[in-house]
Amino acid sequence: MIKRLLVGLLGLLCLLGGGALATAALWGNEVFDEDGVMRFDAGTITPGADSLATIVDIDRFGADIPYVERYGTTHLSVTTLERGDPTALVFIGAAATTEVDEFLRGSPYSVALRDGDDWSVRDVPGVTVPGLPQEQDFWLAQMVGPTAAIPVPDERPLTIVLMHPSGLPTGPLALSIDFVVPQAPDWIRGATIGAIVLVLLGIGLLVLALRMRSRRGRHVDPEPVAEAEPVAEAEPKPERVGDEPA
């Protein structure tokens, strides 16, 4: 009885563990892409039509991201929505605020401020044209691409600069915060395999417990009793001739 209960309980625990792993695998597959990136939409910035750059002071970004720093890194990424062309390039760079102020001095640019889920923009007029951003040597992090992403440096005060790599106006810019966990795809595969193994093991243990119950309740037929051999009847003695009763 106790052995059957223990086997059944172990089977239930395996099923619960398999269900938990399956849930984790489904969640991970939903929120992470094939590169292990979890992306949070950070809204769209629409700079002025003549602005050659858009800047964001990181201390005023106002976005909190749930993440575990031990397992991944946080990136800020940008995609240009210029003319609806998904292949249009954009530059993103992070630098000390004083360096950015010197770089854009006298140029037309926009200052983006985040208010809740929306962005407000303040245009700063100018007449000069700054140098090409990727040719500057003061960036702490930089990237050019259809979707450009950089890890956010720890240095403060820090300013993010968004520009077209050729120095043209960028048009609207879509921002996102990316939590990058390179091991996430491997963890998802491992959780999937573990879930399958635990579920199959749990089902097997429950079936075993049910069979143990069936065997316990089955009555064993008694062994047949050997039939006793019939007792041989004594044969009557033959009467001798001449033996007559007196």
- Does 130 sit behind a cis peptide bond, omega within 30 degrees of 0 on the bond before it? no
Q: For residue 161, list its beta bridge partners.
A: 55, 93
Whole-number pLDDT of residue 96: 94
Whole-number pLDDT of residue 140: 95
Domain boundaries, the chain: 1-34+184-217, 37-181
Q: What is the dihedral of CA 165, 169, 170, 173, to 10 degrees?
A: 130
CA 159 to chain centre: 30
Whole-number pLDDT of residue 161: 95
User: 46-76, pLDDT tens digit by residue?
Assistant: 999 899 999 998 876 655 544 455 667 788 8
The residue among 177, 176, 168 whose CA lies nearest residue 83 is 168
Whole-number pLDDT of residue 224: 57
Residues 6+ apart with CB under 8 A from 144: 89, 90, 91, 134, 165
**DSSP states of 39-106 as a string?**
EEEEEEE---TT-S-EEEEGGG--------TTT-EEEEEEEE-GGG-TT--EEEEEEEHHHHHHHHTT
Residue with tokens 């001095």: 105
User: 3-36, pLDDT tens digit by residue?
Assistant: 888 888 888 888 898 889 888 888 888 878 787 8
Whole-number pLDDT of residue 53: 94
Residue with tokens 């960028």: 170
Whole-number pLDDT of residue 245: 53
What's the one-letter identity of residue 175?
L
Whole-number pLDDT of residue 169: 87
Whole-number pLDDT of residue 62: 53
Domain 37-181 belongs in CATH node 3.30.450: no
Residue with tokens 């489904």: 26
The residue among 139, 136, 167 whose CA lies nearest residue 153 is 139
- The answer to whether 125 touches 51, Cβ cutoff 8 Å, is no
List of the chain residues with pLDDT < 70: 60-71, 82-87, 213-246
pTM of structure:
0.65
Whole-number pLDDT of residue 103: 95
